[in-house]
Amino acid sequence: MKIDVATGMLSDVRYVPSPNYNERPTNTVIDLLVIHNISLPPGEFGGSHIDAFFTNVLDPSRHPYFAEIAGVAVSSHCLIRRDGEIVQYVPFNKRAWHAGDSCFDGRKDCNDFSIGIELEGTDEIPYTPIQYTILADLVALLKKTYPEITDNRIVGHSTIAPTRKTDPGSVFDWGLLAALSIKTEYGGKNNA
């Protein structure tokens, strides 16, 4: 897996282009990584509902929750599904609409300077081992490509929007992610 810096695209992943992005402000340095979770319907995994949501074609008649979020235009740069598949929706050099009303280190509008990674999951259901492995590999690659993203600038959505968001939730194992990321950075191979 590689990132083409010119296009902001990952190699060897499924690409589902979202219309929900725009240009970053001029001369913006990408220096924050935000980890989220998503499941559609809530607590259910698999299927194409996340792709449909991020591309504005989610059918509101398919589930009562879908009617609640109809018309919401959001996206993330990538999703890591329960089986480890990575789906990219927005190039990393573009401004995905993942953070909403947010603030980090005194800077508002985190979408401007961050990358958003969704994990297929919930705050209460443990993530899968392969999700951590793939996330650690992706984190190492993003840190190499965007060196201003340092360990203390990898946060949950709850960190940048604490009054609105709780993801990735209390079940997210930050220690495991750190251990796997260190192993990857120093040339080790992560195995699920």
Domain segments of the chain: what residues?
3-185
Beta strands in 124-174 (DSSP E): 154-156
List per-block mean pLDDT (blocks of 10 residues) for the chain, which spans 192 residues: 96 98 97 98 96 97 95 97 98 97 97 98 97 97 96 96 96 95 63 46
23 counts as catalytic = no
pLDDT computed for residue 182 by the predictor: 78
Catalytic residue among 23, 68, 118, 124: 118
* Cα 47 from chain centroid (whole Å): 18
Q: Which fold has domain 3-185?
A: Lysozyme-like (3.40.80)
User: Residue 186: its pLDDT value, please?
Assistant: 59
DSSP string, 20-83: -EEPPPTT----EEEEEEE-SSTT---SSHHHHHHTT---GGG-HHHHHHTT-----SEEE-TT
Considering the entire predicted model, what is its pTM?
A: 0.94
User: Sign of dihedral through CA atoms 91, 94, 95, 97?
Assistant: negative
